[in-house]
Amino acid sequence: MNIKDRIKSIKKSQYFKQANLHIHSNCSDGKLSFSELVEQGKKLNIKHMAISDHNTLSGWKNFEWQEYDFLIPAVEFDCFYKGTLLHILGYGIDPNNPEIEKICAKSEKETKYDIVRLFKSRHPKKAIDAIHSSGGIAVFAHPCCCWVLNLDKYTKELKDMGLDGIEVYYPYKRHRGIIKFHSRHNIKALADKYDLIITGGTDEHGSLIKQ
Ligand SMILES: [Zn+2]
Ligand SMILES: [Zn+2]
């Protein structure tokens, strides 16, 4: 199954327990190692799991991920467009593709520290093109956290650049303070309006197993 069909096959009820497409390891600013997260995913019997570190594919490059059906290679790029920071997720990419390597972090700092990441942000078109050249699909991450008043227009412009999907299922409550303008309902409406694939994940930076 190709990546588009695979993600489209995930049902709303599978997020976040059986499907979690947004997780960080210590290859960027998460706490657990890549292999610890994979072990947890196995234990929790997750069906679709994507570790999406900031601006790096180092976790995927150093792991025999092909041996695990539930894993989907992923990355999350820092981008900047029209005065706003945004994150673009890539799914189903080939971690060894040279085109995507070109826009990945050149140092560890660019994966871990907010301030460095801010200054190294890329244009979303650049991220979308690189994701496509490596065989993946590009997804607008947590649009609820974007400081744009006209999210509709903003999303349309990303769609015109080649955007494939939008992250609808996300723990919005955690960001309650800054997302007054956009609700899950709004984002879902944008997905329908612009025919974008719906994705979701918890953006976990710690353990997947909660005590
Ligand atoms: Zn993000
Ligand atoms: Zn994230």
Query: What are the residues whose beta carbon lies below 5 Å from ligand 2 (ion)?
Result: 76, 203
| CA 85 / ligand 1 centre spacing (Å) | 10
Ligand nearest to the CA of 175: 1
| CA 16 / ligand 1 centre spacing (Å) | 16
Q: Let me know if residue 104 belongs to a domain.
A: yes
Q: Let me know if residue 68 belongs to a domain.
A: yes
Amino acid 87: pLDDT: 96
Mean pLDDT value of segment 42-62 = 97
Look at the chain and report how many structural domains it folds into: 1
| CA 24 / ligand 2 centre spacing (Å) | 6
SS3 of residue 202 by DSSP: coil
Point out the least confidently predicted range of 11-15, 128-132, 167-171, 174-178.
174-178
The residue segments making up the domain with residue 76 are 3-200
Ligand nearest to the CA of 88: 1
Amino acid 97: pLDDT: 97
> Band of the pLDDT at 211, cuts 50, 70, 90?
confident
**Using the 8-state DSSP alphabet, how is residue 144 labeled?**
G
Q: Let me know if residue 14 belongs to a domain.
A: yes
Distance in angstroms (rounded) separating the CA atoms of residues 211 and 204 = 15
Q: Let me know if residue 210 belongs to a domain.
A: no
| CA 87 / ligand 1 centre spacing (Å) | 5
Tokens describing residue 59: 């976790």
| CA 114 / ligand 1 centre spacing (Å) | 11
Distance in angstroms (rounded) separating the CA atoms of residues 141 and 123 = 15
Mean pLDDT value of segment 90-96 = 98
| CA 96 / ligand 1 centre spacing (Å) | 22
Q: Let me know if residue 209 belongs to a domain.
A: no
Q: Is the model's pLDDT at 21 over the cut of 90?
A: yes
Distance in angstroms (rounded) separating the CA atoms of residues 56 and 116 = 14
Q: Is the pTM of this model over 0.85?
A: yes
Q: Which run of H or E residues covers position 169?
A: strand 165-169
Tokens describing residue 16: 């976040």
Strand locations in 2-157 (E): 19-23, 48-51, 74-81, 84-91, 137-140
**Using the 8-state DSSP alphabet, how is residue 23 labeled?**
E
Q: Let me know if residue 87 belongs to a domain.
A: yes
Which conformational region is residue 87 in: left (phi greater than 0), alpha (psi within -120 to 50 degrees), or beta? beta
Q: Let me know if residue 8 belongs to a domain.
A: yes
Ligand nearest to the CA of 22: 2
pLDDT digits (tens, 9 = 90+) for 55-75: 999 999 999 999 999 999 999
Q: Let me know if residue 207 belongs to a domain.
A: no
| CA 13 / ligand 1 centre spacing (Å) | 22
What CATH number did the domain enclosing 57 receive?
3.20.20.140
Strand partners, 78: 87
| CA 5 / ligand 2 centre spacing (Å) | 23
List phi, psi (to 5°) of 132: -65, -45
pLDDT digits (tens, 9 = 90+) for 160-192: 999 999 999 998 766 555 555 677 888 999 999
